[in-house]
């Protein structure tokens, strides 16, 4: 008997298909969540297609989960039945290593347990994510969600949101700074909203002039077309930070001259890049990586969103339509995130 | 009538040949230096061979200059005749821009005037460097040199020294840190000496096992052979800083796993590199560039060397032998820096 319905990838080449499976028995610190919404992240597709060479099948994607608590273990103290909650990219970590003690569970020395596709320490096989009706998660990896926001638009905050919020916060974005967001997709549109809410002057840097108007609606003050070498030269040496959200192989070199002396470009995509160190050496510039965020910071981001009324721009779908949605994600044809309405699937 | 004798590159393909030329008339803030020693830097060769596509001929290389003051202008306050002094990679900058005001003249917004190969604002043509009998430099770009050190071994501090001292200082190397120096050449051997003198545990990271003993003599506690994947894995996640001195195109990816979370690899070579951003994203790691140092920091470095008795390991040559020396530099066949004895050329 299976207690959970979902959709899974059965191999790297097939479409997602229905998959019934068991969630684990409730432990004393566990929270059971009935899933209302799940965002569709490009990582879901990379994992299903085994683009990173680590996938084990079948696999249920989904790590932007919003739902309601339907049961709690005996020792759960932070949540009660009926609470609106979120589950993001992580569902567990060792809790003991220096990274975990620093609230950087995403860098756990013993390996974070990702919401899907990680070895499942309880059930065996791999963990299964949010393209499903319910999930059981230890309470320290469950997030509180404000009732103030439009809940279906909150789901993408759990990955697209924290992936952009964390570096902007870590590199201390604020008033008086000029911040460039490179690429306007699921991540980029959140980067614009956050950097603007933090008080920075935001410039959308894109190859696509037609995205300019939308970038301004999201909070960008200016739009810089990266193919326009004259315009790029006019902005040289003026940026305090660049957040590069480009998810595919690309050339970093044209962006480095935009930075002021001693400033940083953050990359959040995991991809090969072209680089000549000349662009770093002149001006003592840096390129840094950033990966989602720890649980404490993710909760802080959720609270920041409630305070500043920040949500994602989403397009709702039913779970049955996931394969069509993925095709559109692969063509970057979504503004700016698909969210699955799981209520349609119960 | 020419007042200065030297050796110059007349084109990108010829050997250096004798070249007589005029130094400028003394201005009120100028210091005239009779050159005793000049270090041989790989940049000299890159510039003479026009590897960076910016060279104008004839050009007199040399930016690791040690000499004695033979005359001073009416308004010179820091130097007197007979003083032992140094001239490094820069001989002027605007003095007005934010970088100059921050003591980062190497990033002058209006373009630093390099010791050789820069447009010469006084004489026209390009500036001429230290492969010559004398030089005239405004006093703010002249460095005081301690009489305590073996003078002929001091010359390479002006480029190889400051290039490695500056990032180690900027990234706050000190006791309790494990610092990796990648590559054992003119820069690397100074990096080992400085990092050890700053109190760090230094590991020489090299492709050449035969360099191990020498690295330890210079101050390294350990030697890590970068081709040995098992040894590299054993050091994963243990370094507080990496200083990468490799001067040719190479792959950065194998080094990034060595860094702890949130730590940085500094590159000081200007070269194409291979990079996959995955290595930065996991662990929020950075790659940063660094270029020589400002005048204030270069003087600080010279004083640090006097205090800690730090000089370069050098091999002395006469100016007539420069072409043979360059051939050996191109084969990395020098431990670790050639210095021209200009006294032999007067």
pLDDT tens-digit map of B326-338:
999 999 899 999 9
Extract the tokens encoding A35.
Answer: 């899933």
Under an 8 A CB cutoff, do A284 and B290 touch?
yes
Nearest to A289 among B98, B273, B281 (CB): B281
pLDDT at A237: 97
Residue at a domain's end among A273, A289, A305? A289
Under an 8 A CB cutoff, do B272 and A277 touch?
yes
> What CATH number is attached to the domain comprising A129?
3.90.180.10
Question: Do A116 and A251 share a structural domain?
Answer: no
Q: Assess B74–A contact: CB distance below 8 Å, yes or no.
A: no
CA distances from B124 to A146, A277, B23, B128 (A): 68, 31, 11, 11
The answer to whether residue B298 sits within a structural domain is no
- Cross-sheet strand order for the sheet of B250-251: A250-251, A272-276, B272-276, B250-251
Under an 8 A CB cutoff, do B286 and A264 touch?
yes
pLDDT top residue among A244 and B346? A244
Q: Which of A53, A280, A294 to mutate to test the interface with B (most CBs of B within 10 A)?
A: A280
CB atoms within 10 A of CB B75: 10
The neighbouring-strand residues paired with B265 are B242, B287
Backbone angles phi, psi at B280, to 5 degrees: -95, -40
Question: Do A167 and A114 share a structural domain?
Answer: no
Q: Domain span at residue A211?
A: 161-289
Report the C-alpha gap between A124 and B66 in whole angstroms.
Answer: 69
Report the C-alpha gap between B312 and A288 in whole angstroms.
Answer: 33
The answer to whether residue B114 sits within a structural domain is yes
Chain B partners within 8 Å of A100 (Cβ): none
What 3-state DSSP class applies to B206?
Answer: strand
pLDDT tens digits for range B119-137: 999 999 999 999 999 999 9
Extract the tokens encoding B196.
Answer: 């050890």
pLDDT tens digits for range B77-120: 999 999 999 999 999 999 999 999 999 999 999 999 999 999 99
Question: Do A243 and A223 share a structural domain?
Answer: yes
Q: What is the mean pLDDT of residues B249-256?
A: 97
Average pLDDT, chain A: 96
Question: Do B324 and B180 share a structural domain?
Answer: no
Report the C-alpha gap between A168 and A174 in whole angstroms.
Answer: 9
Minimum distance, in Å, between the CA of residue B25 and any CA atom of chain A: 32
pLDDT at A54: 87
Question: Do B322 and B226 share a structural domain?
Answer: no
The answer to whether residue B18 sits within a structural domain is yes
Question: Do B168 and B141 share a structural domain?
Answer: no
Question: Do B191 and B70 share a structural domain?
Answer: no
Only one residue has tokens 């049961």, namely A71
Q: What is the mean pLDDT of residues B234-252?
A: 96
The answer to whether residue B326 sits within a structural domain is yes
Q: How confident is the model at residue A345 (pLDDT cuts 50, 70, 90)?
A: confident
Report the C-alpha gap between A96 and A79 in whole angstroms.
Answer: 23
State yes or no: pLDDT of A222 exceeds 80.
Answer: yes
What 3-state DSSP class applies to A127?
Answer: coil
Minimum distance, in Å, between the CA of residue B159 and any CA atom of chain A: 14
Report the C-alpha gap between B340 and B38 in whole angstroms.
Answer: 5
pLDDT tens digits for range A137-191: 999 999 999 999 999 999 999 999 999 999 999 999 999 999 999 999 999 999 9
Q: What is the mean pLDDT of residues A104-131?
A: 96
pLDDT at A346: 81
- What's the total number of domains in chain A? 2
Q: How confident is the model at residue A224 (pLDDT cuts 50, 70, 90)?
A: very high
Extract the tokens encoding A138.
Answer: 């230890």
pLDDT at B1: 58
Q: Which of A185, A183, A184, A224 is nearest to A201 (CA)?
A: A224
Question: Do A155 and A26 share a structural domain?
Answer: yes
CB neighbours of A216 closer than 8 A, spacing ≥ 6? Answer: A204, A223
The answer to whether residue B167 sits within a structural domain is yes
Minimum distance, in Å, between the CA of residue B34 and any CA atom of chain A: 31
Question: Do A170 and A149 share a structural domain?
Answer: no
Q: What is the mean pLDDT of residues B318-322?
A: 96
**pTM for the full predicted model:** 0.95
> What CATH number is attached to the domain comprising B270?
3.40.50.720
Q: What share of chain A is helix, strand, coil (3-state, %, to 5)?
A: 30, 30, 40
What 3-state DSSP class applies to A179?
Answer: strand
Residue at a domain's end among A251, A272, A289? A289
Q: Which of A79, A80, A78, A86 is nearest to A37 (CA)?
A: A86
Classify residue A235 by burial, with Cβ atoms within 10 Å: 0-12, 13-18, 19+: middle
pLDDT at B53: 86
pLDDT at A1: 58
Q: How confident is the model at residue B51 (pLDDT cuts 50, 70, 90)?
A: confident
How many residues are given for chain A? 346
B52: left (phi over 0), alpha (psi -120 to 50) or beta: alpha
Residues of chain A with pLDDT > 90, as a percent, come to: 95
pLDDT tens digits for range A267-302: 999 999 999 999 999 999 999 999 999 999 999 999
Q: How confident is the model at residue A23 (pLDDT cuts 50, 70, 90)?
A: very high
Q: Which of B246, B325, B333, B297 is nearest to B107 (CA)?
A: B297
Question: Do B144 and B192 share a structural domain?
Answer: no
The answer to whether residue B305 sits within a structural domain is no
Residue at a domain's end among A268, A289, A310? A289
The answer to whether residue B185 sits within a structural domain is yes
Report the C-alpha gap between A130 and A343 in whole angstroms.
Answer: 12
Under an 8 A CB cutoff, do A271 and B276 touch?
yes
CB neighbours of B324 closer than 8 A, spacing ≥ 6? Answer: B317
Question: Do A110 and A54 share a structural domain?
Answer: yes
pLDDT at B82: 98
Question: Do B321 and B247 share a structural domain?
Answer: no
pLDDT at A341: 97
State yes or no: pLDDT of A52 exceeds 90.
Answer: no
CB atoms within 10 A of CB B333: 10
The answer to whether residue B302 sits within a structural domain is no
For residue A59, give the DSSP letter.
B
Only one residue has tokens 């020589």, namely B292
Classify residue B28 by burial, with Cβ atoms within 10 Å: 0-12, 13-18, 19+: exposed
């Amino acid at each position: 008997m299976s207690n959970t319905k979902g959709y899974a990838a059965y191999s790297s080449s097939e479409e997602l298909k229905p998959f019934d499976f068991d969630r684990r028995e409730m432990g004393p610190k566990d929270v059971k969540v009935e899933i209302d919404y799940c965002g569709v992240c490009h990582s879901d597709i990379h994992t299903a297609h085994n683009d990173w060479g680590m996938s084990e099948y079948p696999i249920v994607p989904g790590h932007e989960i919003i739902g309601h608590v339907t049961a709690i273990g005996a020792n759960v103290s932070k949540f009660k039945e009926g609470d609106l909650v979120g589950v993001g990219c992580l569902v567990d970590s060792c809790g003991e290593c220096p990274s975990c003690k620093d609230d950087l569970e995403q860098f756990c020395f013993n390996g974070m347990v990702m919401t899907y596709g990680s070895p499942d320490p309880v059930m065996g096989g791999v963990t299964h994510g949010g393209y499903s009706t319910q999930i059981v998660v230890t309470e320290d990896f469950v997030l509180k969600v404000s009732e103030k926001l439009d809940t279906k638009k909150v789901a993408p905050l759990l990955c697209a949101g924290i992936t952009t919020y964390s570096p902007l916060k870590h590199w201390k974005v604020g008033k008086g700074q000029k911040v460039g967001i490179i690429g306007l997709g699921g991540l980029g549109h959140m980067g614009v909203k956050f950097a603007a809410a933090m008080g920075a002057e935001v410039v959308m840097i894109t190859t696509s002039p037609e995205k300019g108007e939308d970038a301004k609606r999201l909070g960008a003050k200016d739009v810089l077309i990266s193919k326009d070498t004259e315009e790029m030269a006019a902005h040289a040496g003026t940026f305090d930070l660049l957040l590069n959200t480009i998810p595919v192989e690309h050339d970093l070199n044209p962006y480095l001259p935009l930075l002021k002396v001693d400033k940083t470009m953050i990359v959040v995509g995991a991809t090969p890049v072209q680089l000549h160190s000349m662009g770093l050496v002149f001006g003592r510039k840096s390129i840094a990586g950033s990966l989602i965020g720890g649980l404490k910071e993710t909760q802080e981001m959720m609270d920041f969103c409630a305070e500043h009324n920040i949500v994602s721009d989403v397009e709702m779908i039913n779970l049955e339509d996931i394969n069509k949605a993925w095709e559109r994600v692969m063509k970057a044809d979504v503004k700016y995130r698909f969210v699955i309405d799981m209520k349609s699937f119960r």
